[in-house]
Amino acid sequence: MNSPALLPVETLRGDYAAMGADWTVTQRPNLYSAEDHAVWRALVARQSDAVRRHACAEFIAGLDALNLQDTVPDFDAASARLEPLTGWRLVAVPGLIPDAAFYGHLAERRFPVTVWMRTRAEMDYLVEPDLFHDFFGHVPLLSNPVFADCMQEFGRRGLEAGADIARLARLYWFTVEFGLIRIRAGLKAYGAGILSSARETRHAIGGAGVAHLPFDATEAMARPYEIDKLQTGYFVLDDFSQLFDAARTRRA
């Protein structure tokens, strides 16, 4: 959710020289190295067990629908599975993109996915979202009709937010990135920042001193966050309809 407007493009990791006017690039699956594929496999293997235990059922169903392989995913192939379910497609981007471009894609049911993979040395943490975070963390829930509609509503809201864009970014952070949902069996994760990180998954569900807060959109929009630390508190939904209602609210 950080914009290149806040970071000089030359400091960002992706190849921004190759992008189009909509900030997209062409994914070339044949150019991923053997090491890229090995890191992808290692990350999926490490996170899959935690996801099966701690992710919401909707996320797990989406992961199964994507039928992940041992190689870095082809975005076009994933889109071919996703689009018949909810009308969403993936678009390749060089990395972080401006808010207007990001929300514009969401409003058209296009999800931006970074094309580059982290290195083995960065398996536990990296500053910018990479392909694994974007694809493994975000894409599975786009197969769920309710969540898919929520994401499009975030896009529409983002295009209209104006001066409220920072408040919307905080709502997105504490839900789409770091949200939990309560079911009869207990707490489950749905946020991409949780489900793409082994450490964050353990911390969010059972970390010492972690606050599990009843979801309140107004509080989420006002709560500060830090991108380089484990979260100290997580907002808990009772139902995804709460998220849809929050995304539709013009001001909170």
pLDDT digits (tens, 9 = 90+) for 151-174: 999 999 999 999 999 999 999 999
Superfamily of domain 9-248 in CATH is Aromatic amino acid hydroxylase (1.10.800.10)
* Average of per-residue pLDDT values in the chain: 93
- Judge contact between 192 and 133, C-beta under 8 A: yes
Q: Where are the domains of the chain?
A: 9-248
Q: What's the whole-number mean pLDDT along residues 121-137?
A: 93
> What is the band of 13 on the pLDDT scale with cuts at 50, 70, 90?
confident
The DSSP symbol for 238 reads S
70, with CB counted inside 10 A (0-12, 13-18, 19+), is exposed
Q: And the tokens for 150?
A: 């929520």
- Judge contact between 16 and 94, C-beta under 8 A: yes
Q: Rounded distance, CA 246 to CA 242, Å?
A: 6
β-partners of residue 237 are 181
Residue 9, pLDDT score:
57
> What is the band of 228 on the pLDDT scale with cuts at 50, 70, 90?
confident
- Judge contact between 208 and 229, C-beta under 8 A: no
- Quick one: how many helices (H) and strands (E) in the chain? 11, 6
Q: Which of 95, 147, 153, 155 is nearest to 126 (CA)?
A: 95
Q: Rounded distance, CA 88 to CA 58, Å?
A: 16
- What pTM was estimated for this model as a whole? 0.94
Q: What's the whole-number mean pLDDT along residues 209-215?
A: 96
For residue 196, CA distances in Å to 45, 93, 201 come to: 11, 19, 8
Q: Determine how β-strand 89-93 pairs with β-strand 186-189.
A: unpaired
- Would the pLDDT of 3 be above 90? no
